[in-house]
Structures are given as C-alpha cells and as structure tokens.
Amino acid sequence: MTLETFLSEKKPALIEKWFNLILATYPADTSSFLKNQKDRFTNPVGHTIYQGIEKILDELVQGVDLDRVSPFLDNILRVRAVQDFTASQAVAFIFSLKNVVREEIKGEKNLTVSCDELHKLDSHIDALALASFDIFMKCREKLYDIRANELRNMTFRLVQRANALGGERDAESESPPEGSNNDNA
Amino acid sequence: MAKGPTPEELSNIDYTPPPKEWMDVPTVFKPGTFCWGAKGKNLQILEFPNARDWTPVEEDWKLPENWQEILLEGMKERLGKYRSFQLFMDICVRCGACADKCHFFVGGGDPKNMPVLRAELLRSVYRKHFTTAGKMLGKVAGARELTLDVLKEWWYYFFQCTECRRCSLFCPYGIDQAEITMMGRELLNLIGLNTDWISGPVANCYMKGNHLGLEPHTIVSNIEYMLDDIETITGIKINPSFNRKGAEILFVTPSGDLFADPGTYTCMGYLMLFHELGLDYTWSTYASEGGNFGFFTSNEMAKRLNSKIYAEAKRLGVKYIIGGECGHMWRVIHQYMDTWNGPADFLEVPVSPITGTRFDTAKSLKMIHIAEFTADLINHGKLKLDPSRNDDLVVTYHDSCNTSRGMGLLEEPRYIIKNVCNHFHEMPENTIREQTFCCGSGTGLNAGENMELRMRGGFPRANAVKYVKEKHGVNMLANICAIDRATLSAAVDYWVPGVRVTGVHELVANALIMKGEKKRETNLRGEPLPGKEGN
C-alpha cells in the first residue's frame, strides 16, 4: 500500500485527530463547544475549521495545488488572525498535521513508508505552512486597511464639501473610497 | 550566544492552554480588543466623576482612593433601585443555555464572553458583599473580593458585550444580560472608567445635540449637499424645512445618516420619499440625534440626552414624531422615552396623513418608526414603485438587535424590501428575526482600535451572509440601523468581500417613481441603473 492510498483510507481518522489537536489550542470550555455544536451557523468557527481541514487533506492526498487549497486555508486563517493567537500559534495547526500522519503510520503494521514518500509529504505540508503565513499576513493587513478606510470615510464627506467650496466638484472627490466606513451615530 | 530550541523542541511546542478555574485566568489586554479610555475633558463636560486622561494598558488607572467603596455603594444603590438587577444577581442556575449564544464567544472563543460567565464577573463580587453564603464561604460559594484585577476584568469584558440580548432569548429565566452589562458599565462610570469612543459622542451630544458634534449650519449644508445629488439624479429640487413651527410631523434620525456613507444614501431616501408624499414635516437642528450613546454610560445620562426629542416636538408644536432607521435609538425610544420624559400629552396619536392609518401601537409614545410608516404606504398602494431599478441587487436583510429583539419590528422592513426589490433571500432561520446575530460593534464598540474584537463579534453574522452569497449570489445586505450600516460594511469587507451594505430607504428611493422626475440613469450612489450601463 502506498502512502497516498493509506492517507485516503485513513482520512476520517486523520481529520478527527487533526481537528481535535486544533481545538485543543482553545480553552477547554471553548473547544468542547467547537467540537460538539454541529450547526454551521451556531458554530461557524468549528464548521469552518472542520470543512477546511477536510478539503486540505483531500488536496494533500492528491498533491498540493495551492490555487485550490488556498481558499480553505484562508477560511481558517481569517478566523485565527482575529482570535487570541500569536502569528506562530495561528499557523501552527498546519505543522501538527505531520505528527497526526506519523502517529497514524506508526499504528499501521502492514505499511512501509519510504523516506522519499515521507519527505514528499513533509514538503507538501511545508508548502501549506508557507502559504498559511502569506494568508495570515494578508488578513492582518486587511484589518489595518479596514481601520484606515474607516478613518478616511469618516472625514470623506467633509473633504468633499471643502473641495466643493473651493471650486468645482472634481471627479475624484465624487467617488467615495472603496471599503468600509464608520460613524458613531 | 543564546542557545535556540532544537528542531525536536520546535516541533513539540504545545499550544494547549493550561486548564484553570475562570477566576484564576488573568485578564490580558491584547491590542485590538479594547477601546481607548475616556478623555478627561469629555468626562468634565458631562460632570462625570473622576475626570482625567487615562490609558487602559497602563498599570495606574488613576482611580480615586476609595474606589472599592464607591463601587460597592453604587452596587447597593442599584440593587435597591432596580428589582431586575437584584433578581438577575440571584436567579441564575448556570444551566448554560446562554453560553454559546454570544457572538463574541462564538466568533472569538474566550470563555469569559459566555454570557453566564460575564455575569459571574459581577455576581462573584455581589455574593462576597451582599450574600451570607458568599461572605462566609468565599470562593466555595463563587464569591470573591473586588480587587484591582477584578475591576480591570470588569472593564475589559463589559466593553465586550453589545447588549444585543441574544442570550436572553434562550435563558429559561429571561435574565437580561444587557441589563447586567448596563449595570456593570454604570458602576465603572462612577469611577471615570468609560471609553473615549463613547464619552466623546456623549459630550458632543450634550453640547450640540448630536454625536458628531454637527452645528445647525453644518447639518443644513450637509442636507443641501444631498439635495444637489438628488437633483442631479432625479431632476427634482427638494426644499425641506428646518426647525419649522407648526409642521405636522417632526423627523428625527441618527446623525450618522447625515455624514457617513452609506447612511447618507438612506438619508437621501427619506428626503425623496417625504417630498414625493408632500409630507408636512420638519427636520430639527436641535433634536438632531436619534441615537443615544448616553445609554452606554448611565440611565441618567441617557434620559438627559433623550429629553430633547419631546422638548423639540413641544417647542415646534408638531402633532407627532417619525424616527429614522436606527437600532439602539429605537431601544431607547420604544422602551424608555415615555417613562423617562413622557407623558407626551401635548402630542397626538400618529395618523398617517396619506393613508389615514392610526398607529395605536404608538398611542402613548407618539413616535413611529419610518419602516412602519413606509410599509403602511406600500400596503395602501400609495407609492409608485419600479423594483426593476434594483435588479442588479440580490438582497438579504439583517435584523438589527434592537429593532428585532427590542421592539419586534420584523415584518415591516421585509415587506418594504420585497416591494422595492425583485431579488430577496433570507439568511438561515437561526440567524435572523429574534435570533439575529449582532453586527458585533454596537453599544459604542464601533471604534477603530478594537477592530479584532469587532471582527470576532461580526463573524457569526458575516458567516450567514457568506452562505446566502454562495447560495443565491447575494450582493447587498440591507438593514435599518445606522451603526449596522457603518460596522457591517467593515465586517463584510473582512469576511465576505463583494457584499455591500444599504439602508432600506435607499432601496425605496431607487425604486420610487417620483412625479416630474427625469429619466433616471443612476441609482443614489451614482452607479448606472440596470440596463443603463452602456450610457
């Protein structure tokens, strides 16, 4: 049996173990909620993580296509980027997959895995980790972007009016900046 | 040279948090999760106690020496004054029904955001000082002293509750967590511990009548600017009146509608609708704020800021009041205004001059929500509408916490939207109507410095929006709340890019066929109407 076939067969067990490891990064009360509440709207974090790792494992078995796997990494990291995690804690769940797979291999007596196969798998997981760093950074940058946009929009109408007082309403001042806005009404 | 961890050590880092009792978990002030402290000058304007500049991350909060005494006295006073507070301190059996209902817990995962635990922060001190069991048994009875760490924990978590009341819906005893947070914030206010984002607008409102501090000429010129845009789009020149004595109706709306997009488009919607009806109404530059951030400081301050609405109605001699699209404004008006500043016996029961409908639900209050007013117009066929002008929009509707759970305004906005748009899809049942998820930024949490917290809190809402976007192609999130219009714009920008946010009356005005209008080419945002893209 090749490692690829083994991973396919063991997918449900791998998902369960990986999911539990990720949930263990939350406080105990939280992780039991994230695990046990099955409604995707009541428990969007648990659902997002579960659905995400399921798809990531699918990809891993087939060889990693970052274009296909990125949206699922994004879903998970977008959540962890605003929770109480440092950058390393937020992306560490990808590395924990290495341990999950190795534990599962150890328990399978009929499987012999070559160094090459294992190296290939590790490389795929490393590629996922690197992509995760990029996604995490994009999420953080987006947060600062939103903050800046809110500030800009708060004064946008004022600036627009000031421009109008000073002369013609120019095309640039006619279009509000993209993104979010804020007020404290 | 310092020795780094070995590769083996690196791969074995355990991120599992150590299990601890909640009382033993220290509060960490993580940037992005809290607002800046109130400025001394604003507290001074409001005659709030302990006015000084302070910073939450600094060790010294510059508290009065006897702060514990002040807080315990304040607690005693409120336990005596508000029966509900006493009841909510005693009655909880910690069944856990509320635990997973808070958007901050659901999106952020901090157990102290479980409503039951957030209330325990206060209850534990209540037990220690006001119950025999707590006094005698201490921690065993869930009681603890009011230490500086406990105070900081209060501050951190009572400004992580938006008083949305979703948890109360599921509580078998009906414990209103919003009221517990209100009490928590009132107590903190006694020693000068409010936030800048709340106390600034409250000071503005106290001095100038609205949160943004807009003076009368600025309000007028802002609206004139919108009138120019309306004329460009429709060819119709509108001349609304300001502070006009003898008008039939006074119109009050949140000041955010006057200034910040996309609220300004909603405001243009009001102007166009009222003009088309020929409504005998007036704006006020004195009662220029429907919202009430005073509500997030103390009962007395909320009452003080609210008093201008009836006062202005009396001064102008109007018959009744219509209020614009706002959330917490309506919690205050619907549930408190009449008791605080009524009886408004100088006003009449609202009767629509167009349809003759008498709004008996506002028999005592004398103020109706614009959604009720407009839904009645449509129901009587009084508006000429072309919903196809909104055909580029696939709309869903977010129930604002205050208008849905607070006042039961569930059907009217939906009825309006369905009449002015051809493409409408509901979000899943357990995320709308009474069970709606908060925007995550209400009760004065819509600052910039706590953006991570806002995104956590907004996730459950955004997650449902994402679902209808993927399933039905939803690209517009409608609501009837000024804070929602601002904060959901940020939330969807992060969680569901491609979805925009609108007020319901922006959609109405786009569809509204006005007498004498020119052929409309664009919507209120200046974007080409469907089918006019090539022009």
Q: Inter-chain contact B486–A182, Cβ cutoff 8 Å?
A: yes
DSSP state of B405: I
Domain locations in chain A as residue ranges: 3-143
Of B211, B430, B491, the CB nearest to A42: B430
- How far is it, in rounded angstroms, from Cα B363 to Cα B358? 9
Contact B333, B310 (CB under 8 A): no
Nearest CB partner across the interface for A183, out of B17, B106, B256: B256
Tally C-beta pairs within 8 A across A and B.
Answer: 171
Hey, are the CB atoms on A26 and B493 less than 8 Å from each other? no
B109 and A153 within 8 Å at the Cβ level: the answer is: no
What would the 3-class secondary structure string for B129-161 be?
A: HHCHHHHHHHHHHCCCCCCHHHHHHHHHHHCCC
Q: How far is A62 from chain B, CA to nearest CA, in Å?
A: 25
Measured distance CA(B82)–CA(B229) in Å, rounded = 49
Give all domains of chain B, ordered by start, each with its CATH number.
Answer: 22-194 (1.10.1060), 201-511 (no CATH)
Given B13, B109, B263, which is nearest A30 (Cβ)?
B109
Q: Which chain B residues are Cβ-neighbours of A164 within 8 angstroms?
A: 225
Chain A residues 91-110 within an 8 A CB cutoff of chain B? 92, 95, 98-99
Residues 6+ apart with CB under 8 A from B503: B257, B262, B263, B265, B266, B269, B325, B478, B479, B480, B485
- Which residues of chain A make contact with B506, given a CB cutoff of 8 A? none
For residue B236, how many other CB atoms are within 10 A of its CB?
Answer: 16
Provide, as residue numbers in chain B, all residues whose Cβ is less than 8 Å from the Cβ of A78.
Answer: 494-495
Contacts of B293 in chain A (CB under 8 A): 184
**Cβ <8 Å between B211 and A185:** yes
Distance from CA of B471 to the nearest CA of A (A): 14
A28:B19 CB<8 A: yes
Question: Alpha-carbon distance B352 to B374, whole Å?
Answer: 10
Strand-by-strand arrangement of the B500-503 sheet: B395-397, B476-479, B500-503
Q: pLDDT at position B294, please?
A: 97
Angle between helices B482-495 and A115-166 (to 10 degrees): 140
Name the residue facing B259 among A26, A143, A157 (closest C-beta).
Answer: A157
Distance from CA of B476 to the nearest CA of A (A): 14
Identify the segments of chain A with pLDDT beneath 50.
171-174, 176-185
> Is A159 an 8 Å CB contact of chain B?
no
**Regions of chain B with pLDDT less than 70:** 1-2, 10-13, 15, 535
**Least CA distance to B105: which residue of chain A?**
A30
pLDDT of residue B259: 84
Measure the CA–CA gap between B60 and B52, rounded to whole angstroms: 12
Instruction: Please tell me the distance from the alpha carbon of residue B408 to that of residue B67, in angstroms, as a whole number.
Output: 40
Q: pTM of the full predicted structure?
A: 0.94
How does strand B320-323 pair with strand B249-252?
Answer: parallel
Which pair of tokens denotes residue B326? 């706002």
Quote the minimal CA–CA distance from B281 to chain A in Å. Answer: 22
How far is Cα B281 from Cα B164, in angstroms, rounded to an integer? Answer: 32
Query: Torsions phi, psi of B213, nearest 5?
Result: 75, 30
Disruptive mutation site among B455, B456, B479, B487 for chain A (greatest number of A CBs within 10 Å): B455
Q: What is the pLDDT of residue A110?
A: 79
Q: Which of B256, B431, B493 sits opposite A180 (nearest CB)?
A: B493
Determine, for residues B448 and A147 on separate chains, whether the beta-carbon distance falls below 8 Å. Answer: yes
- Residue B282 contacts residue B246 (beta carbons within 8 Å): no
- Separation of alpha carbons B447 and B296, rounded Å: 14
Q: Which helix (H) or strand (E) holds B369?
A: strand B367-369
B469 vs A contacts (CB less than 8 Å): none
At B470, which amino acid appears? E
Find the residue in B nearest to A78 (Cα). B495
Among B111, B463, B494, select the one facing A29 at the smallest CB separation.
B111
Contact call for B486 and A183, based on CB within 8 A: yes
> Quick one: tokens of A4?
């690829």
- 8 Å CB contact of A182 and B456: no
Burial B49-74 (b: 16+ CB within 10 A, else e): ebbeebebeeeebebeeebbebbbeb
Give the DSSP H/E element, type plus range, for residue B501. Answer: strand B500-503
